[in-house]
């Protein structure tokens, strides 16, 4: 049994508890061989990536993506252990601590990175689950690697989990882990959360291994999704791909004991075997699928934007950009799901039509991601070509209308950018949630600014104060940008205030507490059809929800008319903070307020690109040399040298944007 690195509370059973429990489990395995943690988080990546300099020196830097952004504050205050890949090829690093987190690495070979990570995860599942925006590729060798790597994670979770532990598995890379772990351990409570969409069955059905995926997920006790429609899609997949019966938001399977495993789920043969509403027959497991919209650490972001240096940096950014009248901002991983090209197209046409005036700039941060996957390379080429075309057509000396930054920045710099932006453009073609939208709102404590948000992002369900758009509708997108850029300060305040309330009250701690609360429940005694006290509308109580000004045909319930809808929403648990201070519960009950700034500095990574630059660096498009004096007056005579001051966080500007 591995001892935890420090005495994180509640991780080890008391001697009395241990005396009461039999020495061996049903499989004859000694319980003393179990791990020591009462909370085990299993995610594809560790919160830090390992990189090696050309001199062979290893260092750690924060990992990219919204998943890590959301989970880091949750885990920081929990004392649990985080299992994940270190982002590099090679053997697993031994257990270590970074930024106050207990970390256990999974090692992947170069072949596994190619077949599991770049292949099955990011060239099969990612495009498939994002409504086939790019064509998914199906290769049996990739699938075999996915199975093998999922097994590594399940085995490590088994090693780390203490008796009766809670194991929380995350995202599409690890869908087989719940059942693989269940086959080893009957005593643990397993939760699974998918951060990306779960597709409709007609799309999911393309996957040759669809049944295996459904069965893998059903090893969990609770399956969390971003939107109700995702949970409903999963329940449909249970019915259609695995022949299971669902009742409301639940599905029942026959529990297979350790060792019986394989992959085949034992489906109840009859209604009688499945049990009735009143109870769960012996040997039967009940699994629940529900929506828990993920969020950001609003308190921490609120604290960052209060800092004098961040506010000063926001002003400096506008100055560096030439004091434009209008600053538009896009912040994304450079991913084809994010709708960057649609956004650029709309912006280019608006420039050509002169609808935004002459003193407008777009800052587009596009952080490097999955650069060895072909679709990402092609996208980068196309984005960079488009940016160059627009700058070539509409720019002038010292004035590129687009500042394109293929880099990652520390969160302080991102917060300053959010403060500096008049209009935030979040236009994904498909997105599980999109935390950038919520970060922008959380940072705008001045209640100014406007958000243009795709209705295909999960965040659209909650942020009724945004200008909701269909990014495929270029004319509609252009109109929404113009409208967002020209609202009165009063309207901006009214919209922003409502969105800020939502993001403040439903922050990442609330999300984690809601999930934990439902996972901790023993569903076996419940009537799955009885009204779920957690079910409700995430927009209830939001004065802007359904606001006709939002003009959003989808703002209502995307599952309107779907009898499952109310059964699969759980994100509005009243449980927020209810377990704060409960020593039996390993989860944080409230906002951690902890800084993300202690994870070390970044360096270029083999996975995420090479050289990175700051706002003043040699990015593909240069920042202008000085403040613009308006279109007519611009010329060599207007040029000033760039400010030399160092803005907050620029020493570590290779850090990823906070949440994607």
- Residue ranges binding ligand G6P (CB under 6 A): 44-45, 64-67, 122, 171, 195-196, 369-370, 660
- Closer to ligand G6P by CB, 71 or 289: give it: 71
- Closer to ligand G6P by CB, 116 or 467: give it: 116
At closest approach, how far in Å is the CB of 323 from ligand G6P? 35
Chain-centroid distance, C-alpha 39: 20
At closest approach, how far in Å is the CB of 651 from ligand G6P? 23
Residues 6+ apart with CB under 8 A from 14: none
How is residue 277 written in tokens? Answer: 């509403």
At closest approach, how far in Å is the CB of 422 from ligand G6P? 27
- The rounded distance, in Å, linking the Cα atoms of 183 and 190 is 12
- Closer to ligand G6P by CB, 197 or 248: give it: 197
At closest approach, how far in Å is the CB of 200 from ligand G6P? 19
CB 161 within 8 A of CB 185: yes
- Closer to ligand G6P by CB, 370 or 502: give it: 370
- Closer to ligand G6P by CB, 79 or 84: give it: 84
- Closer to ligand G6P by CB, 403 or 660: give it: 660
At closest approach, how far in Å is the CB of 660 from ligand G6P? 6
At closest approach, how far in Å is the CB of 622 from ligand G6P? 28
Q: What is the β-pairing status of strands 326-333 and 284-291?
A: unpaired
The CA-atom distances, in angstroms, between 227 and each of 35, 428, 569, 620 are 34, 16, 8, 37
At closest approach, how far in Å is the CB of 66 from ligand G6P? 4
How is residue 356 written in tokens? Answer: 């935004």
At closest approach, how far in Å is the CB of 69 from ligand G6P? 8
At closest approach, how far in Å is the CB of 98 from ligand G6P? 17
- Closer to ligand G6P by CB, 573 or 608: give it: 608
State the DSSP code for 431: B
Following DSSP, what letter does each residue of 145-169 receive, concatenated?
HHHHHHHHHHHHHHHHEEEEEEEEE
- Closer to ligand G6P by CB, 44 or 250: give it: 44
How is residue 114 written in tokens? Answer: 């190619």
Burial 509-523 (b: 16+ CB within 10 A, else e): bbbbbbbbbbbbeeb
- The rounded distance, in Å, linking the Cα atoms of 75 and 436 is 20
- The rounded distance, in Å, linking the Cα atoms of 397 and 399 is 5
Q: Please count the other Cβ atoms lying within 10 Å of the Cβ belonging to residue 615.
A: 24
- Closer to ligand G6P by CB, 653 or 660: give it: 660
CA angle 426, 428, 430 (to 5 degrees): 145
Residue 527, judged by CB atoms within 10 A of its CB (0-12, 13-18, 19+), counts as: middle
Residues 6+ apart with CB under 8 A from 515: 168, 191, 193, 222, 224, 292
The CA-atom distances, in angstroms, between 526 and each of 165, 268, 269, 390, 571 are 22, 19, 22, 59, 19
Cβ-proximal residue to ligand G6P, closest one: 65
Residue 309: left if φ>0, alpha if ψ -120 to 50, beta else—which one? Answer: alpha
- The rounded distance, in Å, linking the Cα atoms of 14 and 530 is 37
At closest approach, how far in Å is the CB of 226 from ligand G6P? 10
- Closer to ligand G6P by CB, 171 or 183: give it: 171
At closest approach, how far in Å is the CB of 324 from ligand G6P? 31
- Closer to ligand G6P by CB, 34 or 456: give it: 456
CB 313 within 8 A of CB 645: no
């Amino acid at each position: 049994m591995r001892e935890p690195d420090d005495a994180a509370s509640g991780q080890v059973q008391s001697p009395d508890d241990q005396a009461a429990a039999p020495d061996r489990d049903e499989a004859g395995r000694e319980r003393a061989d179990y791990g020591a943690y009462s909370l085990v988080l299993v995610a594809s990546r560790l919160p830090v990536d390992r990189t090696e300099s050309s001199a062979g020196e290893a260092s750690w830097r924060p990992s990219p993506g919204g998943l890590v952004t959301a989970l880091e504050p949750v885990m920081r205050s929990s004392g649990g252990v985080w299992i994940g890949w270190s982002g590099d090829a090679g053997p697993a690093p031994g257990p270590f601590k970074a930024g106050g987190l207990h970390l256990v690495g999974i090692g992947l070979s170069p072949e596994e990175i190619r077949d599991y990570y770049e292949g099955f995860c990011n060239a099969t599942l990612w495009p498939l689950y994002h409504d086939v925006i790019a064509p998914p590729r199906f290769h049996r060798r990739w699938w075999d690697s996915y199975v093998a790597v999922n097994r590594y994670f399940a085995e490590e979770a088994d090693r780390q989990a203490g008796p009766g532990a809670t194991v929380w598995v995350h995202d599409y890379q690890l869908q087989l882990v719940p059942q693989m772990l269940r086959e080893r351990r009957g005593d643990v409570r397993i939760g699974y959360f998918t951060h990306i969409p779960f597709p409709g069955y007609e799309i999911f059905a393309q996957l040759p291994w669809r049944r295996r995926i459904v069965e893998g997920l059903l090893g969990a006790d609770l399956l969390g999704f971003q939107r109700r429609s995702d949970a409903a899609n999963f329940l449909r997949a249970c019915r259609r791909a695995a022949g299971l019966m669902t009742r409301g938001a639940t599905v029942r399977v026959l529990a297979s004991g350790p060792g019986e495993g394989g992959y085949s789920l034992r489906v109840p043969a009859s209604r009688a075997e499945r049990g009735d509403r009143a109870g769960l027959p012996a040997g039967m497991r009940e699994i629940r699928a529900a929506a828990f919209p993920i969020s950001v650490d609003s308190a921490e972001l609120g604290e960052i934007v209060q800092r004098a240096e961040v506010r000063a940096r926001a002003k400096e950014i506008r100055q560096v950009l030439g004091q434009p009248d209008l600053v538009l901002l896009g912040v994304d991983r450079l991913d084809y799901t994010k709708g960057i090209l649609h956004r650029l197209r709309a912006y280019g046409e608006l420039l050509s039509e002169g609808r935004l005036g002459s003193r407008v700039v777009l800052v587009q941060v596009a952080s490097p991601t999955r650069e060895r996957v072909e679709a990402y390379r092609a996208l980068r080429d196309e984005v960079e070509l488009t940016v160059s075309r627009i700058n070539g057509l509409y720019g002038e000396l010292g004035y590129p209308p687009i500042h394109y930054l293929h880099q990652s920045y520390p969160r302080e710099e991102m917060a300053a950018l959010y403060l500096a932006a008049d209009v935030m453009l979040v236009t994904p073609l498909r997105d599980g949630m999109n935390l950038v939208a919520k970060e922008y709102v959380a940072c705008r404590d001045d209640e100014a600014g406007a958000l243009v948000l795709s209705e295909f992002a999960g965040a659209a369900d909650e942020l009724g104060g945004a200008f909701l758009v269909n990014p495929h509708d270029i004319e509609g997108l252009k109109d929404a940008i113009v409208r967002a850029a020209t609202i009165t300060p009063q309207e901006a305040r009214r919209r922003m205030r409502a969105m800020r309330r939502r993001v403040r009250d439903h922050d990442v701690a609330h999300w984690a507490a809601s999930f934990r609360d439902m996972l901790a429940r023993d569903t076996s005694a419940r009537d799955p059809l009885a009204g779920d006290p957690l079910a409700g509308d995430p927009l209830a109580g939001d004065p802007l929800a359904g606001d006709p000004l939002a003009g959003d045909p989808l703002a209502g319930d995307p599952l309107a008319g779907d009898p499952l809808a109310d059964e699969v929403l759980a994100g509005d648990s009243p449980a927020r903070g209810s377990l704060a201070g409960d020593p039996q519960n390993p989860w944080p009950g409230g906002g951690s307020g902890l800084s993300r700034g202690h994870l070390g500095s970044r360096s270029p990574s083999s996975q995420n690109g090479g050289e990175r630059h700051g706002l003043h660096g040699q990015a593909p498009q240069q920042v202008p040399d000085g403040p613009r004096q308006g279109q007519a007056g611009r010329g060599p005579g207007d040029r000033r040298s760039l400010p030399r001051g160092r803005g907050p966080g620029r020493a570590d500007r290779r850090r990823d944007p906070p949440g994607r």
